[in-house]
Amino acid sequence: MRVILVPVVFWLLITDQTQIAFMLFIVAGVSDAVDGYLAKTFGWQTELGAYLDPLADKLLIVSIFLALGVDGKLPLWLVVAVVSRDILIIMAVMLSWVLSNPVRIKPLVVSKANTVAQIVLAATVLADEGFGLGLGWARFALIWITGALTVASLAAYLHSWLLHMSGHDISGQDSSA
């Protein structure tokens, strides 16, 4: 369902229907939480779901950031940083496959914090724009927190990837030993 919401939310944002976009963003978040709860509680986890769930989340966040950036509601430097981080991580994973040294990306603590910051920032901007809440200072702070976490997350993934590609595990021990 969240994948289907991506173009709908994007269209709503570019047509200045921010209140509805915010409500659908909340619906997407609730459906993600319910989906995760059901999958874990009843063992309804699938390999396809393991790929589609984070992909749906990422597509929704990136499309919201793009729409808000183009409309001037988020700074373009932040949009470029968020989108570039994801593209660089995908390229690193693909390169490791091409070089016959596939890497499995494990969510890092800084990456989870980055995701939370992106979600909170998106929700804050959507709510502020849609309902005129006057959240300027919160938005300012969240923009810089999200920017810092985006850079820190990319640096952490790049470090882990470089260690993997050089034959070392994350603890710094040589994996060939």
Question: What is the rounded distance in angstroms from the CA atom of residue 93 to the CA atom of residue 127?
Answer: 35
Contacts of 44 (CB under 8 A, 6+ apart): 38
Statement: the pTM of the whole predicted model exceeds 0.85: yes
Question: What is the rounded distance in angstroms from the CA atom of residue 92 to the CA atom of residue 115?
Answer: 19
Q: Could you read off the pLDDT of 11-28 as tens digits, one per residue?
A: 999 999 999 999 999 999
Q: Which domains are present in the chain? A: 2-165 (1.20.120)
Q: Could you read off the pLDDT of 27-74 as tens digits, one per residue?
A: 999 999 898 888 889 988 888 877 788 888 999 999 999 999 999 999
User: Cβ distance 43 to 49 under 8 Å?
Assistant: no
Q: How many residues would you count in the chain?
A: 177
